[in-house]
Every structure is written in C-alpha cells, then in structure tokens.
Structure 1
Amino acid sequence: MSRNKRFRKSAPPRRYATPQTLPNPDFLRVITCNLQWGTPAEGWTDVQKANSRAEAFIRGLGERCRSLFKSGSVNTRTQLTEENLKQTAQVLQQLKPDILALQEVDKGQRRSGYVRQARVLAEALRLPYWRIGASYAGQSQVLHRRPLDSELKAESGYGIALLSRWPAKSWHFKRLGRVRARIVWGSDPWKGFSHGFLEGLRDLPAAAKGTGVRFGQMRVLLAARLATPLGTVALGTTHLEIHRPTAASQLRRAWRSLYHLRSESCLLVGDFNLRDYQIDKVLQPLPTEQHPELHAAIPSYPADKPWIALDQLLGNGWELVGEPQALRLPISDHRAVIYDIRPVKTAQ
C-alpha cells in the first residue's frame, strides 16, 4: 500500500524561531510527556478534589454557572496555565530536547484558560518545527466534533503534538479509531446476590459505585520525517485508548503505518496505555520483519510514585545511550520520560 493511503500528508511545516545547534552531536534526545492539558500537580479546583461523582457534578455545575456571569475565573485559569507551562518549559529547557512528543494537549480550551499549549512550549523551548494532531475540535466540556483540519488552524480542540529542533521533510496524520461506548462496572456490583436476590438488590446501589457509561475518544497518530544531523528518521507520537484490547489494535496500526513511512529508520513514542511487558505479545501478529528492534520504557505513572511504564518508545535503526530517565514536572499526573538515542552502527 502506498504512503498516501496509509497517511494523510499535511502542508509544509510552520517555523516560529531559529533552531539552535545540536546540544550533543552524538545522540538525539527525545522526550515524551503527557501534559494532562496543563493540570498542576495539586489539581485545578475543588471539583477534582470531590469525594464522589455526585459531589463533583454539583461543584462543577456551580462553577460553570458562576463562570457564565464572571470572567475572572477564565482570567485566573489563563494566568495559572501560562505560569505552569512557563515553569515546565524552564525544566525542559535545561534538558535540551531535540524532539518533544506531547499528549493531552489543549488549544483554546476553556478548562485550560484558552492557552495554545503547543505554541507556548515550542516558542519557549525554541523548537521551530511543530504541529498538532487533533483528536477532536470544540470545547471538551460540551459537544465536540471531528475537526475540519487536523492541525486546528482556525478552531479550538485537543490532541497530541510533535515539536522538533530539526526540519521536517513531510508531516503525516492518521486516525486510529475509537473504542465503542461501553458500561464500566464498579468494583463488585453483584457480590450481594450471593446472599440472595433481595439482599443483592438492596446492596446494589452501594456496590455499583463507580459504574457508568464510558464513551471512547478518537485516537490519532502524528508523524514527521525529520532531517536530523544523524540521519532521516520517521518519528511519530500517539496517545492510545485506556481500553487495552483497543489500545493493542491501535498500537499495531500505528507501528505498521510508521514502519511503511520510514526511509532510513523509525521511532514511535507516546502514552501507549499498555504495560511494557505486554508490547511483545501485542505486536506478535505483525510480520517478523516489522517487529521493532528497540523497545524502551521506565515507570512514569503516577507522577508522585511511578510504578507503571505507560510512556514508551519503539524503534528500528536506533539504540539507547544510557538508561531512560523519568522526570517529574510542575504539571501532569505523568512524568516526562527522556530517551537518548543514536543510530545503530552497521558492520562495515
């Protein structure tokens, strides 16, 4: 299958700054980070600290009603978002990333003060080649829709982003699909029925706490063929579904598409929402020649005491320089993961 059928090729890349020299000529530094749309570690408001869904709904409804007649909440949210992103950029700036892959990125969302998060970080870090890949357009708290343009040029939205120090020969975007709406059950809603039908009915409301309908979100892959000093690399980022069977299918589609896009080598980074020990089994159905040569991961979630490796890297033609590192940022419930990589040396 041709590349054009696998990916939708985007327009020429934007430039907003002059690229700096390579911080280290021997390797590339790739950082992947789930921004959680700029949420600070302590949370935004009382809504996120509510003890139940009903309490969170009531607090959230009150906050929305107040915001209809008062613009101060938006102004405060804007100031907080810009300050949090500024602090995050200061941390990342010290790391001198060559490529920054971001997930859960807002553009023009009320919940994050209408800040264009990808642009703010690109300008602060002087990464002139960047692009957004939209999961949806519109506001997150009301009805959102499929974007008219995957780059969100003239509309608000949410998705992933890729920021690079080095120019892109081409940009590519692919929709990976979404999981169907499904019922998510609580811890053990049927436990009471072991003591009889009437006993089960009486205990059902308390036992079913946490049960609800969950709607899937469109997942996407954003990729670029980057002309780095160490060679051209097809690099993509994605944020996969939390429903594991769906995430497994999406990962195969993303890696297969990136593999066919490559010219010399390829890398896939992002929030896979899969455990690191599951990756080999997930990719097993692919042809042998398409299996990645490199798989790297380090615990990065939750941010305060990480024990789950969700933010991972797959690659062909590259190898690690040292062990990955996980760094806590002023925002997000994920830690940023740092991968230093270099091309694999072939035998002469």
Structure 2
Amino acid sequence: MRLVTFNIRHGLGRGGAVDHEALAEAVRALSPDVLAIQEVDRFQPRSRFTDQARICAEAMGAVDHRHVPAVAGWMSVPGLRWRARGREGYPAYGIALASRFPVAAWRTWRLPMASRWVGPVQLGVDEPRAAVAADVRLPSGGITVCATHLSSRLGNASKQLPWLRDALREVPRPLVLMGDLNLRDAAAATLTGWRPLATAPTFPVGRPRFQLDHILVDDAAHAADAGGAVCVGVSGQAHALDTGVSDHRALVADVAFTVPGG
C-alpha cells in the first residue's frame, strides 16, 4: 500500500493562487492508499468556499475520510479572527485523513498549546493543533494511521510529539504516524523511538534542505496478539515529490506487511 503525507498549503499553486484542479491532479498522480493532508481549508473565502478534504478524497478514490478543524472562522478576512474548533459546516482550517480502505473507527485529539511571556507581556500565542487516527481495515489485517500537523512556533513541536506518542499508546499496532511535524530530519524519530519509513528532504519545495514531513511506524510485535499485521516494511524507494502545489513536497512510502502465519 502507498502512504502519503502532504502539506497542501490550502491548495496554493505556483502562481500564488489557489488551484483546486491542480490540487486534485496532484493527489491523483500521487495515488495514495492512505493520505494525510495538512493546512486544509473548508468553506474559506480564500479557497472559494470549497471542502478541500473532499476534493482530495474524491481525487484518490477514498472510501472514507475525515476533516478535523484545528481552528474555525475566516482565515483571510481583515478584522475577523479565527477561534479554536468549530461546528460542522462552519468555515474551518486544519488536517484531514483519507483512505481507500474501509475505516472501522476514528479518534481525534486536541494537542497542547503554548504561549510565550516576558514579564506581563505576552509575545506569542500558539495556533491550536489537532490529530486524527483511523483504524484502517486491510485485507491482511488492521493498521492504525494517525495524521497531525505540529506547531511551528515557540518550540512547541518538541513537546507536542511526546504528548501525542503517549496518547497513542493504547491504540492498536502497527501504528503509522504521518504529517508535517515541524521537526527537522531525525528529530521526530528520536523523540518517539519509532522507525522512519521515508527519509527525504521536503522543505522548501524548490530546493529542499531538510525534512519536516514524516512517516513513522511503531510496529510492536504485540500486534500479533490482536491478529493484525506484525511488521511494516518499505517495499519500494521512499521519495519526496514536487507536485506543483504548496511550499512542501509530498512524502511517499510504499509499504508491505508481514502477517502472522504468512
């Protein structure tokens, strides 16, 4: 199966305008079986009031997908401010996860935030962040896939990732974590103790110098107790692709599973 994580930057194309046709074509060309996307608009003026998670899900032929708002409200209208979360149908911005395989259950988390103070003065406030996980049903067994987008501010990503690792402790294995983690190169694997399935620079898109986008696996052997897959291995060359959309490259890993008794 093919795993892809892609920070789509609300579908912004090379010309500086949102291009949903280019976004859909990029997703079709990537041909993911499970896709994690970040910086996803829903019903925003700047992206022509579309549901970008649905655009991507339909382009890849997903049978199930979930958009999880990190913030709600207009993201690009002067004088109006976003707020955390938001009800269904409300303009929002966040992350999404889509799968060509059936999803048995969904889980979501709100990640811890941070702010910076110098005496009585607040210098910065972190943007709310979220994570979503799907129990994906494969022909060979089950796998949990989690998508997230960690903070780029205040050094908070290095605190959010261990928090999320602990929150995911009880979900079934094997577990794959995908997303823009805003941690460079080997830092994400070091903080989690999980194995990278793809190693390639992803940012900035034209001449990438470092890897911010990651696909990590925790394929602990106790997954066999639940009758699921035991081990996830890369079956092809993992790579980062310039799709013509966004300021990030999409990170792709083709993986295979070792099944108990197989």
Structure 1-normalised TM-score?
0.65
**Secondary structure in 2 matching 1:275:** coil
Answering whether residue 139 of structure 2 is matched by residue 229 of structure 1, we say: yes
Q: CA RMSD for the aligned pairs? A: 2.2
**Secondary structure in 1 matching 2:205:** coil
Select which of 32, 43, 58 maps to 2:5: 32
Higher strand share goes to which structure?
2
Deviation at 1:166, TM superposition (A): 0.9
Q: In the aligned structure 2, how far is the partner of 1:267 from the partner of 1:244?
A: 26
Answering whether residue 25 of structure 2 is matched by residue 90 of structure 1, we say: yes
**Counterparts in 2 of 1:1-348, with a 5 A limit?**
28-44=1-17, 81=18, 84-141=19-76, 142-149=80-87, 153-181=88-116, 213-243=123-153, 245-262=155-172, 264-283=173-192, 291-317=193-219, 318-344=232-258
Q: What is the identity percentage for the equivalent residue pairs of Structure 1 and Structure 2?
A: 30
2:10–2:39 contact (8 Å) kept in structure 1: yes
**Secondary structure in 2 matching 1:260:** coil
Q: In the aligned structure 1, how far is the partner of 2:38 from the partner of 2:174?
A: 23
Change over 3 Å in CA distance of 1:327–1:137 after alignment to 2: same
Higher mean alpha-carbon deviation, 299-308 vs 136-145, is at 136-145
Deviation at 1:295, TM superposition (A): 5.0
Letter in 2 for 1:118: A
**Secondary structure in 2 matching 1:131:** strand
Higher helix share goes to which structure?
1
Q: In the aligned structure 1, how far is the partner of 2:147 from the partner of 2:256?
A: 18
Letter in 2 for 1:325: H
Which residue matches 2:227? Answer: none
1:31–1:101 contact (8 Å) kept in structure 2: yes
Q: Deviations over 1:139-158 (max 9, x none)?
A: 11321112244xxx221100
State the number of aligned residues.
Answer: 244
Q: In the aligned structure 2, how far is the partner of 1:333 from the partner of 1:296?
A: 19
Structure 2-normalised TM-score?
0.85
Deviation at 1:257, TM superposition (A): 2.2
Q: In the aligned structure 1, how far is the partner of 2:31 from the partner of 2:38?
A: 19
Q: Deviations over 1:199-233 (max 9, x none)?
A: xxxxxxxxxxxxx9443101111111010123211
**Secondary structure in 2 matching 1:259:** coil
Change over 3 Å in CA distance of 1:320–1:259 after alignment to 2: farther
1:135–1:158 contact (8 Å) kept in structure 2: yes
Q: In the aligned structure 2, how far is the partner of 1:106 from the partner of 1:148?
A: 13
2:197–2:238 contact (8 Å) kept in structure 1: no
Change over 3 Å in CA distance of 1:245–1:215 after alignment to 2: closer
Q: Deviations over 1:270-320 (max 9, x none)?
A: 00100122234423xxxxxxx324453310111111111011111022121
Deviation at 1:161, TM superposition (A): 0.2
**Secondary structure in 2 matching 1:252:** helix
Q: In the aligned structure 2, how far is the partner of 1:241 from the partner of 1:131?
A: 21
Deviation at 1:160, TM superposition (A): 0.1
Q: Deviations over 1:54-94 (max 9, x none)?
A: xxxxxxxxxxxxxxxxxxxxxxxxxxx3xx22223223323
Deviation at 1:115, TM superposition (A): 1.5
